[in-house]
Amino acid sequence: MNRALPHIALALGTALTLVGCGTGNSTQQALSQAQVKLAATLPKPYVEDLVIESVKIEGAALVEVIRSPLGTAAKTRENPRFDELRQAEEFSLRSWCSDPLIQPLLKTDAVLKRRFVDRKGGVFFEVELPARNCPSTTPRADAAATP
């Protein structure tokens, strides 16, 4: 019976490892699928002169790279209203949650990220939101009962 213990411990350890990897694997799988589908639609306009240039995976994050052909990141960050722009984009990021290609990420450990860069690759700023924190797009059950 004592000789069976190492085999049981090995089997239990393997099972626990596989269970622990399940969430990460499903997140990576969902990220890969979303990245491939989104990349096929790019480049495309974002707002004004900004263009969504690429989408890539960095760890557990799906990163949209949004390029501005005007200005430079360093000078723009010096603008006294720069924080207002960043805050507006933090709020705007929530709208990405309603994209049907993003929906499979909402129940994973994925993070949605937008990186704004200048024409030379300088980073203006980044905003991010865990996909699980996306606003719900389905009405609450008690909302219909409220007059």
pLDDT tens per residue across span 36-53: 999 999 999 999 899 999
**Would you say residue 60 has pLDDT above 90?**
yes
Specify which residues 128 forms β-bridges with. Answer: 113
Is 2 a residue whose pLDDT tops 60? no
Q: Which of the four pLDDT bands, split at 50, 70 and 90, describes residue 35? A: very high
- Residue 54 Cα to chain centre, angstroms: 13
Asked if pLDDT for residue 90 goes beyond 80, the answer is: yes
Which pLDDT belongs to residue 137?
55
Task: Please list, in sequence order, all residues whose beta carbon lies within 8 angstroms of the beta carbon of residue 127, skipping any fewer than 6 positions away.
Answer: 86, 89, 90, 93, 113, 114
Q: Domains along the chain?
A: 28-133 (3.30.300.250)
SS3 67: strand
Q: How far is CA 137 from CA 35, 38, 126, in A?
A: 22, 20, 24
Q: What is the mean pLDDT of the chain?
A: 82
**Pair type for strands 61-67 and 51-58:** antiparallel
Task: Give phi and psi for 87, each to the nearest 5.
Answer: -65, -40
- The per-residue pLDDT for 71 is 83
CA dist., res. 76 & res. 74, Å (int):
6
Lowest-confidence region among 10-14, 90-94, 117-121: 10-14
Per-residue pLDDT band at 140 (split at 50, 70, 90): very low
